[in-house]
Amino acid sequence: MIQVLLEERCVKCNLCVNICPTNVFEKRKGEVPVISRQDDCQTCYMCELYCPVDALYVAPNADEAVEISEQELLTTGLVGSYRTNMGWQKGQKPVAAQDPAYKFYLPSGV
Amino acid sequence: MEVSFHFLWEFEFKKVKTILNDEKGMDKMAFNHSEKLINQIYDVSFKADVLVIGGGPAGAWAALSAKKNGATVILVDKGYCGTSGATAPSGNGVWYIPPDKEKREEAMRSREALGGFLSERKWMKRVLEQTYESVNQLAEWGYPFPVDENGVVHKRSLQGPEYMRLMRRKLVKSKVKILDHSPALELLYDSNGVAGAAGVNTQTGETWSVQASSIVIASGGCAFLSKALGCNVLTGDGYLLASEAGAEFSGMEFSNAYAITPKFSSITKTAFYQWASFTYEDGTIIEGAGSHKGRSIIAKTLQKGKKVFAQLDKAKDNPELQKWMRIAQPNFFLQFDRMGINPFEDRFEVTLRLEGTVRGTGGIRIIDETCATSVPGLFAAGDATTRELICGGFTGGGSYNAAWAISSGYWSGEAAAKYALSFNRNNLDRTLSRKQVIGINEQRTSHNGLDANEVIRHVQAEVMPFDINLFRTEEKLSSSLQRLHSIWHEAKTSLKENKGNIVRVREAAAMLATSRWMYTAALERKETRGMHKRLDFPKIDENQQHRLITSGLDEIKVTADTHNFQTV
């Protein structure tokens, strides 16, 4: 579930509000958005992927909220890791161009 | 009575309008949307030739195809076109086979027995052809397909986020109007039949209507809010809309797909479990358990209340393979990295999450090659429709669904455009009317309404347990169905909006209806075929090699579709 929104990183672009398929975030005038419907989160990680400044962290736990402190989180190096792994960070190329699925698990096209 | 009620409502409406204008906060959601929908008061209204409901791959292809055929198009998505649905967050194989006679022959042949011989060669052929053409088009549009050291481009896999971001860009560029966060809650009708839809915008709280000459339903299947990856927007909404318009379903008994996932997680991606061994808590191997053929054994073990663990130990000593796996499906590893689990070295607890009809094959019945439903002007595409045509009663893999979304999207969009442009609707009476539908109706009951979340919990309790849905018997299915029918009959009059939850209300109704079509069909198929397993009829019965057509809302009817399949 979406767990952390790092307010000091957030640039208030509200992209997460726009792109969340289950409408978890709420826009606020002049302020950073808030996670207002955490229970509706389907743990699809799309908000993290779209966040241009790595201000969001989705915990992998789908059924329950698991508290994690911002400080603790920042030491893990996990914030923004999905975006990096997909090649969506600024200056990166999409990793889809290196997708090796054809080499090993889709050999016969299934 | 009616007059005074109406008067009161008008008054309330004005009052709420003021609130809407004054405060841009949560209060706007507190308004009763169903009253506005019943009275056809729409804050915003649009017109187009074609309305596409759903913005996953099928809807996106349908919209582009309709546009290409000269229609004006509006696409509405319950979430956000580009991130919504099962495809966007996933790595997807695609049933993409070059036009090599032998390879295509093998691709078709390999599916037929698995699907219980309910697929058709005619459809498989045209899906293979269309998918080949459309995926090549994706390359032209700039999808970054991998190129190997010999310069060969490989197009059998699509990374969901990349694919759907590209599709959205194409839609915007093609001037398809996209309404995000705009679930369609009901269809609208005019003198000629289906004529649009109405719904709410979940972010602005506004009601909307779209007037259109034809409609494509591409809203996906139904996974019953199980949190399977990307599936919580897939609650069978389009089934309900189609059924209310009079459409039929096919293959609803093939609706019991479950996917392996780490117990804590939403990542229902199963491809990599081919390198897994499955163990009991004490570390001993669970004989026969596996991702492909041994999923039932995992289910049986879980059913006994025992924990099941997995470890990708068969890839343990292959660092090169591990590297490839990480690149191919980044989010598969995200879940483990964040839990401090090394899936190659560590055992982790797994479970099965219901994917329902999303990875099942049942859905709206289509009656011809254009992906028309039995309702004139209403077309359907993707997981919202039956995929028996190419898969029979079993998919087991996303690549067929991906190919079907592309192909059926393409055909339905084209046909919807032609239908819309084939007559001048402006010569007809275009006054939009609505039907009374479950959750949005004028019937008032004296007692408190039925809560949508309560209904959903009831439905989940009937469709999730393995002993009802996976390992089926007449006894369990019929008692379950009886309970579901009685909830439906209560819900028909008393399921209603509470604190602005009209979307949840309609989702609850859709899931409830879906569960009843599923179990009605499952009872009727007295044999084991495809993914439909009957413990009381454990064998395939050659006299039941036909599809089952389901229809109706209050009274559900099942008939056998006994036309001859061109299976080989």
- pLDDT tens per residue, range A16-39: 999 999 999 999 999 999 999 999
CA distance B21 to B313: 60
Residue B447 within any structural domain of the chain: no
In a domain, A109, yes or no: no
User: Is residue A15 in a domain?
Assistant: yes
Q: Is residue B63 part of a domain?
A: yes
Q: How many angstroms separate the first and last alpha carbons of chain A?
A: 31
Does the pLDDT of residue B304 top 70, yes or no? yes
Please report which confidence band the pLDDT of residue B444 belongs to, taking 50, 70 and 90 as the band edges: low
More confident residue, B25 or B435: B435
Asked if B191 and B317 sit in the same domain, the reply is: no
Residue among B85, B202, B327 whose CB faces A100 most closely:
B327
Q: Is the CB of A44 less than 8 angstroms away from the CB of B328?
A: no
> By CA distance, what is A93's nearest residue in B?
B144
Residues B148 and B209 in one domain: yes
Q: Are residues B127 and B176 in the same domain?
A: yes
| Count of structural domains, chain B | 3
Q: What is the mean pLDDT of residues B249-277?
A: 95
pLDDT band at B428 (very low <50, low <70, confident <90, very high): confident
Contacts with B96 from chain A: Cβ below 8 Å: 109
Q: Which of A29, A43, A103 sits opposite B24 (nearest CB)?
A: A29
**Residues 6 or more apart whose Cβ sits within 8 Å of residue B114:** B392, B394, B396, B530
- A:12-71 residues touching chain B, CB 8 A cutoff: 17-23, 26-27, 29, 36, 40, 42-46, 49-50, 59-63
Say what the pLDDT of residue B30 is: 46
Q: Say whether pLDDT at A85 is over 60.
A: yes
Residue A45 is nearest to which of B162, B231, B334, comparing CB atoms? B334
Question: Is residue B449, in this structure, part of any structural domain at all?
Answer: no
Q: Considering the domain boundaries, does residue B548 fall inside one?
A: no
Confidence of residue A101 (pLDDT cuts 50, 70, 90): confident
Q: How far apart are CA B414 and CA B48, in angstroms?
A: 15
Q: Contact B469/B354 with Cβ under 8 angstroms?
A: yes
Specify the pLDDT at position B302: 97
**Do B68 and B204 share a structural domain?**
yes
B280 and B349 housed in the same domain: yes
Q: What contacts 24+ positions apart, CB below 8 Å, involve B100-107?
A: B103/A109, B104/B128, B106/A108, B107/A108, B107/A109, B107/A110
Contact criterion met (CB < 8 Å) for A62 and B159: no
CATH number of the domain that residue A79 is part of: 3.30.70.20
Give the model's confidence band at B293: pLDDT under 50 very low, under 70 low, under 90 confident, else very high. Answer: confident
B119 lies in the same domain as B154: yes
- Position A108 pLDDT exceeds 80: no
- DSSP category for residue B222: B
For B556, the token pair is: 């559900």
Q: Determine the residue of chain A that is closest to B261 in CA distance.
A: A62
What ipTM describes this predicted complex? 0.96
Q: Are residues B100 and B197 in the same domain?
A: yes
In a domain, B164, yes or no: yes
Does B339 contact A60 at a Cβ distance shorter than 8 Å? yes
B322, B353, B384: which is the final residue of a domain? B353
Please give the average per-residue pLDDT across B85-99, as a whole number.
Answer: 93
Query: Please, what is the average pLDDT of chain B?
Result: 92
pLDDT of residue B462 exceeding 80, the answer is: yes
Q: Are residues B86 and B153 in the same domain?
A: yes
Residue A88 banded pLDDT, cuts 50, 70, 90: very high
B108, two tokens: 């078709």
Query: Do B3 and B97 fall into the same domain?
Result: no
How many angstroms separate the CA of residue A65 from the nearest CA in chain B?
A: 11
Please, which pLDDT band fits residue B194 given cuts at 50, 70 and 90?
Answer: very high
List of chain A residues whose C-beta atoms are within 8 Å of the C-beta of residue B85: 21
Size of interface A-B (CB pairs under 8 A): 163
| Residue B250 maps to a domain | no
Which tokens go with B149?
A: 């050291």
Q: What is the model's pLDDT at position B389?
A: 96
Q: Where are the beta strands (DSSP E) in B224-289?
A: 249-250, 257-262, 277-279
Nearest CB among B230, B266, B330 relative to A86 is that of: B330
In this structure, what CATH number is given to the domain that contains residue B316? 3.90.700.10
Which chain B residue is nearest to residue A78, measuring alpha carbons?
B338
- Best probe of the B interface among A99, A103, A108, by most B CBs < 10 A, is A99
Buried b (16+ CB within 10 A) or exposed e, A32-68: bbebeeeebbbbbbbbbbbbeebbbbbbbbbeeeeee
Q: Is the pLDDT reported for residue B421 higher than 60?
A: yes
- Percent of chain B predicted with pLDDT > 70: 93
CA atoms of A59 and B338, how far apart (whole Å):
7
Residues B330 and B377 in one domain: no
d(CA A93, CA B448): 56
Whether residue B299 sits in one domain with residue B154: no
Q: Which of A4, A44, A48, A108 would best serve as a mutation to test chain B binding (most B beta carbons within 10 A)?
A: A44
What range does the domain containing B72 cover? Answer: 45-219+369-427
* Terminal CA-CA length for chain B: 64
> Domain of A99?
2-104
In a domain, B478, yes or no: no
